[in-house]
């Protein structure tokens, strides 16, 4: 081994130790606290990123946090609809969900995507349990009420007992965004919304949305205009004056709603960055946009 090699190894080890040392106060601060992670986007499709997200979730669990994973699965739903010869339809950005589509959504999200995430977490040394809204009446649905979109729902009620039972015993709940109304009719609910409502009901420390964006940008074409930290009032203003637009509006609104109900901090982070979760939670700089409830300071 050359002098250069040993110097490189020494520096790499020093970096690793520095990172662990920097993480310590965060681990101490968040031990025993609940973190709700909405898992989606590229981090769900790219197998190398998927592996890192899964490891991050297991890491959170191992250092004493209580991660709860909420997921959607749009691309996989589309590919199964295609296999079954059902044409996907969208209206105002929402999937039109007729009875046949709803059957596929439920089979894919609850049967395939959910169990794949559960299996990957278990392989990585965690203890995951897969749930949907129907399990233990975790959350119930009601129709969104919009004309012509079928079985697209909103969360009408959350019952966190099953999540608390699992998380307090070291299990990692993995929740798919399918639920039933009081008549037993299944509904497809936006996974960001489900994550926000669960975080609010649990009084979570953090709600973290893994997205395919860097966070909130002042100019959406310029990555260098990332806004690292805002409070609820500023977030509402960003929506009102059009800086937050398009697909970011529901994400930021969902964060604001959960903060207004007592979640301490919400984060919109770039799931395309390897180990985005650990970077955001355990480092001084973070990597995305953190939205704070007005009464909290970090």
What are the structural domains of the chain?
A: 36-292 (3.40.1160.10)
Measured CA to CA in angstroms, residue 88 lies from 70, 77, 83, 187 at distances of 23, 9, 11, 16
Residue 1 has pLDDT above 70, yes or no: no
Cβ contact 180:140 at 8 Å = yes
192 noted as active-site residue:
yes
- Amino acid 204: pLDDT: 96
* Mean pLDDT to the nearest integer, 73-99: 86
229 assigned to active site = no
pLDDT of residue 14: 84
The per-residue pLDDT for range 204-253, each reduced to its tens digit, is 999 999 999 899 999 888 888 999 999 999 999 999 999 998 888 889 99
User: Is 246 assigned to a binding site?
Assistant: no
Tokens at 263, concatenated: 């979640």
Assess whether pLDDT exceeds 70 at residue 296.
no
Q: In sequence order, what are the residues at sequence separation of 6 or more whose Cβ sits closer than 8 angstroms to the Cβ of residue 164?
A: 202
- Lowest pLDDT segment from 55-69, 141-155, 200-214: 141-155
Q: What percent of the chain has pLDDT over 70?
A: 97
Q: What is the dihedral of CA 66, 270, 247, 244, to 10 degrees?
A: 100
* Res 264 pLDDT > 60: yes
126 is catalytic: no
Q: With cut-offs at 50, 70 and 90, classify the pLDDT of residue 13.
A: confident
Local confidence band at 91 (pLDDT 50, 70, 90 cut-offs): confident
Question: Which of 268, 245, 271, 247 lies closest to 258, judged by CA?
Answer: 268
3-class state of residue 269 by DSSP: strand
CA atoms within 13 A on the CB side of 116: 16
Which residue of the set 72, 126, 153, 192 is catalytic?
Answer: 192
73 annotated binding-site participant = yes
pLDDT score recorded for residue 297: 55
For residue 95, say whether it is annotated as part of any ligand binding site.
yes
Task: Please identify which of the residues 251, 270, 271, 293 carries the catalytic annotation.
Answer: 251
Active site residue 52: no
* pLDDT tops 90 at residue 73: no
pLDDT beyond 60 at 298: no
Pull the structure tokens for residue 81: 């609809």
Taking the C-alpha atoms of residue 38 and residue 40, their distance in angstroms, rounded to an integer, is 6
Q: What is the pTM of this model?
A: 0.92
| Residue 251 designated active-site | yes
Q: Can you tell me the mean pLDDT for 87-95?
A: 78
């Amino acid at each position: 081994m050359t002098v250069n090699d040993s110097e490189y190894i020494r520096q790499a080890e020093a970096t690793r130790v520095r990172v662990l040392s920097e993480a310590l106060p965060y681990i101490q601060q968040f031990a025993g606290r609940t973190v709700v992670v909405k898992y989606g986007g590229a981090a769900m499709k790219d197998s190398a990123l998927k592996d890192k997200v899964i490891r991050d979730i297991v890491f959170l669990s191992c250092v004493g946090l209580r991660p709860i994973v909420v997921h959607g699965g749009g691309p996989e739903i589309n590919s199964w609809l295609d296999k079954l010869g059902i044409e996907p339809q969208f209206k105002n950005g929402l999937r039109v969900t007729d009875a046949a589509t709803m059957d596929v959504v439920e089979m894919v999200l609850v049967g395939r995507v959910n169990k794949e995430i559960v299996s990957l977490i278990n392989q990585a040394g965690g203890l995951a349990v897969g749930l949907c809204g129907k399990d233990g009446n975790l959350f119930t649905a009601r129709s969104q009420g919009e004309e012509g979109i079928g079985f697209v729902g909103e969360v009408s009620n959350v019952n966190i007992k099953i999540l608390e039972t699992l998380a307090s015993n070291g299990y990692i709940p993995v929740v798919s965004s399918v639920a039933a109304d009081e008549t037993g009719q299944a509904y497809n609910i936006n996974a960001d919304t489900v994550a926000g409502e669960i975080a609010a009901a649990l009084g979570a420390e953090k709600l973290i949305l893994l997205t395919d964006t860097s966070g909130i940008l002042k100019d959406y074409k310029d990555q260098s205009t990332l806004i690292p930290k805002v409070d609820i009032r500023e977030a509402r203003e960003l929506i009102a004056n059009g800086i937050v637009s398009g697909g970011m509006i529901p994400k930021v609104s969902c964060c604001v709603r959960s903060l207004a109900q007592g979640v301490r901090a919400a984060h919109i982070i770039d799931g395309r960055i390897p180990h985005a979760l650990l970077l955001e939670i355990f480092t001084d700089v973070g990597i995305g946009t953190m939205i704070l409830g007005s009464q909290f300071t970090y």
